[in-house]
A and B are shown apart, each in its own frame.
Chain A
């Protein structure tokens, strides 16, 4: 047994010696004789191959067992669906019991109404109501379908043509809700990778559109052209060929009552090659000699503004919204505007009301003179109210008064303003409102008291509101008065 092992061992050793002493197994490397280098290399390669075939060490991944998942699900406690209800949430707005014109009825009493954006005084207009009645008898109320299916009536197409003719653009497209116009238009044209420069004071509809578009959004200081120019300057180093760039502004900001200086914006847009999206909800039918909006006000040809959107729930005293621009812009939205394709169309009687309102505006441009006179009367009456200062543009029909000295937080400011507004309603029967902000709104502009001036108000209404506000403010801040 032992001799057999010794024999095998000597035989192996002989083989190794042969391998070592073979002529090709000798080498001279750097003057050193190495015998059996081939054997050494073969061994090295064998070791390498062995290591490569070993699996690398990973800490063992143990997936959760069913029981552990069950336990986690048992332990998990969700937050309640709504946060605790505060007393501000419980406050109900006043319920009006007649048409929301310049004079309305609340709880049986007649009240002067400064809370409705009825700028041209078209609420209660006989012509509009008659055309609506004819439309209701013909079409019923709703259109029961999307525009892409059988929800397009002749009235819709006529309304779009009428608005395009009024604005001197090739075409326009009608949306069924004012706020949905802007938040459908922006995602239709701006995609991921595009650049948008927007004013920080835009309202929630615009903010939602900007968020849904997934583009890069940069805000500039509210209505500050120097800030806009420096922002545009910083963003012009990208290649212009594939990236689309937009400036989004409102013509008349509903959060602050300021009017955008369109001439500077157009100059900057042409210098830096941006396109402009202009939101004209509160300026359509108000600014300009014949009510055609901000472009007429500044005397800029309408072709320079790429996309104009507006809600018709203000000056035109109807509901819905429209968007107008070049033919390409409007056609693109007929398949890509989500509020157009995926939603039911505007009720035909409201489209009829819009046509009647635009006809009225074109035939009676003097109503704008009345509106402007009313706004200046309101400014005269409210410019020296103690504790409050005028914060809006002198031409804006949304008159905003903010606190001279803020109490420190938006919440307490709003409480104080709500108290004043309530006293004015209860004691003097005048309905004015404070700017409400939702928690979801990103806008941080100061809050204030809002009055919507209409061409339907007369001088005594305006005198009443000035006297009432002055009296309540004096009582609230007796030391300043």
Chain B
């Protein structure tokens, strides 16, 4: 949980107030200048495409720090990559690429197991499948878009996750947005965690069911909401709910926290609700053999009704999957719009997932998979520990490869980002709208491809820049004299 120091809250509010005031002043001048210039005939009679305050944030706040986002890269997002340098002639309104690049340490990409760049086992097989099947099937799954690769992938995913059957889709976001409406409709209830991802929120809204929110990771509140809702029934008519689905995520991407899955499942079983687990960030990244939060927290996959995940993060590909019982998967294949209306997943991407799954399971004949898994666990725990010792406010649980460091003040966002880039470390800033307005942060994603030297360099740079910018909110631990040996079981 975030513990916001009082003085920091005041200064953050003051900064945003100042930015807002300046923005309004500039808008006023813009209105005056535009009033003198006549508006073009084309737009007469039309309401402006973005009204008033809707894009105020974009125009007045985001454009000032635009160079910290959308940085183009010129090589694969491996542990070190080339960031393209950009310049601007009109104070960040438009940015132009140059042909110069600088090699930076990558602490921002979701490359948990190091499959992002060309891999010795995966890439030759992917190229072979590209030559055989072409980049796309141009067809929907139910027409002529199901290749034998897709069938093989679905069986492999089901076996990996521990469920009877699975179905795959071409995009993780579309998976959530179209599965939730297929599972529940009007008359049903969705109870979702307050910090769930935008795709889940969109899917829940698109379904037409009633939505209730419970406090993040607070199982007692979840139980309270459940009891109230079952007792009250549907609003106004008080008919009993048709079904209740509880949606949680394995690792929350902006907090790095794990969800208390065992307790949530106990509550669901007691009240006969269904549980939907979104493992976008945890599949392949946590757990002894990479099988996700179920393995890490000792939960039986058969207790979770629907398991969803994506292939973008740990497997270096694209797309999403749903794993559940055979009947549910058959029903989803018949109803889910992303299966019935959208182009099937690109065959080389399917082959990439198949190959990377085989490496993780050890079926490629080497132990690279278990090495990668051990490496990422060791890296994450070491990095988090060191950051905490330096006095940063780091969120997230142990074993999670995502580490947000709190910044709070809006001015620290571009300061931290630009200073780190000067010293060849590429980090990711999370500001509004991806996080609440006052809780800006920088998010570190650790990969199995990072070596110990890379991590030490990263720590050194972050510590220097942290001192410069002033984000060490907690007291530093004095350095211990004996070196600690980190045990990995």
Residues of A within 8 A of B (CB): 64, 68-69, 72-73, 76-83, 85, 88-90, 92-101, 104, 113, 115-118, 123-124, 128-129, 132-133, 136-145, 147-154, 156-157, 176-180, 183, 189, 191, 203-205, 208, 211-212, 240-245, 273, 275, 306, 311, 313-314, 317-319, 328-329, 331-332, 334-336, 338-339, 341-344, 346-347, 349-350, 353, 431, 433, 436-441, 450, 452
Contacts and interface: CB of A to CB of B under 8 A. Distances in A.
B231 to A, nearest CB: 5
Contacts of B177: 180, 183, 208
27 contacts: A64-B231, A69-B231, A81-B274, A82-B328, A85-B327, A95-B151, A96-B146, A116-B139, A140-B119, A144-B77, A144-B312, A150-B77, A152-B73, A157-B72, A179-B338, A180-B173, A205-B341, A242-B51, A244-B51, A245-B47, A314-B343, A317-B136, A329-B49, A335-B58, A339-B174, A342-B173, A353-B136
B139 A117 contact: yes
Q: Which of B126, B226, B332, B346 counts the most chain A CB atoms within 10 A? A: B346
B407 interface: no
Contacts of B332: 82
Contacts of B334: 88-89, 438
B101 to A, nearest CB: 9
Given A76-B272, A136-B123, A319-B346, A115 B139 contact: yes
B70 A148 contact: yes
Interface size class of B (residues with CB under 8 A): 35 or more
A175 to B, nearest CB: 9
A342 B176 CA distance: 12
Contacts of A88: 334
Contacts of B119: 140
B78 to A, nearest CB: 8
A98 B45 CA distance: 54
B47 A123 contact: no
Interface stretch (B20-28, B198-206, B383-391, B481-489): B198-206
B197 A139 contact: no
B231 A438 contact: no
B138 to A, nearest CB: 4
A124 B57 CA distance: 46
Contact of A150 (B73, B242, B327): B73
A353 B135 contact: yes
A147 B142 CA distance: 30
A144 B116 contact: yes
B46 A240 contact: yes
A91 to B, nearest CB: 9
Contacts of A318: 135-136, 346
A321 B275 CA distance: 32
B174 A180 contact: yes
A78 B272 contact: yes
A143 to B, nearest CB: 7
A150 B123 contact: no
B318 interface: yes
A124 B130 CA distance: 9
B333 A89 contact: yes
Nearest to A124: B134
Interface of B: 45-47, 49-51, 54-55, 57-58, 62, 69-77, 81, 83-84, 97, 106, 108-111, 115-119, 122-123, 126-127, 130-148, 150-151, 170-174, 177-178, 181-183, 197-199, 202, 205-206, 226-228, 230-231, 240-244, 270-274, 305-306, 310-313, 315-318, 327-328, 330-338, 340-343, 346, 348-349, 352, 426, 428, 433-434
A142 B316 contact: yes
Contacts of A92: 146
Contacts of A178: 342-343
B135 A145 contact: no
B69 A179 contact: no
Nearest to B352: A141
Contacts of B270: 73
Contacts of B116: 140, 142, 144
B346 A350 contact: yes
Contacts of A117: 138-139
A401 B478 CA distance: 78
Contacts of B227: 69, 73
A203 to B, nearest CB: 6
B267 to A, nearest CB: 11
A179 to B, nearest CB: 4
B188 to A, nearest CB: 8
A90 B105 CA distance: 50
Contacts of B271: 73, 76
